[in-house]
Amino acid sequence: MKTFIFIISFLPLVIFAKPKIYFDYKVYYTPTHQPYVETLLQFSAASLKFKANSNGHLTSALEITQIFKFKDSIVSADKYIVQSPEMKDSTVEDYFDIEENFQDGKSYLLCNYILNEQKIHLRSHCL
């Protein structure tokens, strides 16, 4: 009976836990000295919800919106879906999304907004 109570007491934490998504960026330069920003999102697969696809493999999808702003203006915006690799069983591995964005050397505000398949806001990163 004690085991049952223990499981029930932690069930809400599991159901409402937010996925672990890590963000990092680096500024690089081309051979002609033009700057570009490489952004990296790491998705902790163990914290995501997976669904079986038509092949019977587990997959997960997240919608990413990436916005570069300069002062009050949006310089560039991109919205795309990041699909996880197909997982054959419940042993899932982290996966990454790496994007390169060419810039003109100004200081920009970069924001990432992440939604799940049900369009529920999961995370935001701004820097």
20-79 pLDDT, tens per residue?
888 888 888 889 888 888 888 898 888 888 888 888 888 888 888 888 888 888 888 888
**What pLDDT is attached to residue 118?**
63
**What pLDDT is attached to residue 69?**
85
Cα distance between residue 20 and residue 116, in whole Å: 13
Element (H, E) at 36: strand 35-43
Tens-digit pLDDT profile for residues 35-52: 888 888 898 888 888 888
Higher pLDDT, 9 or 104: 104
Cα distance between residue 98 and residue 11, in whole Å: 34
Cβ(110)–Cβ(127) below 8 Å: yes
- Phi, psi of 16, rounded to the nearest 5 degrees: -100, 10
Confidence of residue 122 (pLDDT cuts 50, 70, 90): low
Higher pLDDT, 109 or 61: 61
Task: Assign domain 18-126 to its CATH architecture.
Answer: Sandwich (2.60)
Q: Where are the domains of the chain?
A: 18-126
Cβ(111)–Cβ(66) below 8 Å: yes
HEC assignment per residue over 65-106: EEEEEECCEEEEEEEEEEECCCECCCCCCCEEEEEEEECCCC
- State the DSSP code for 46: G
- Phi, psi of 15, rounded to the nearest 5 degrees: -65, -40
pTM value is 0.71
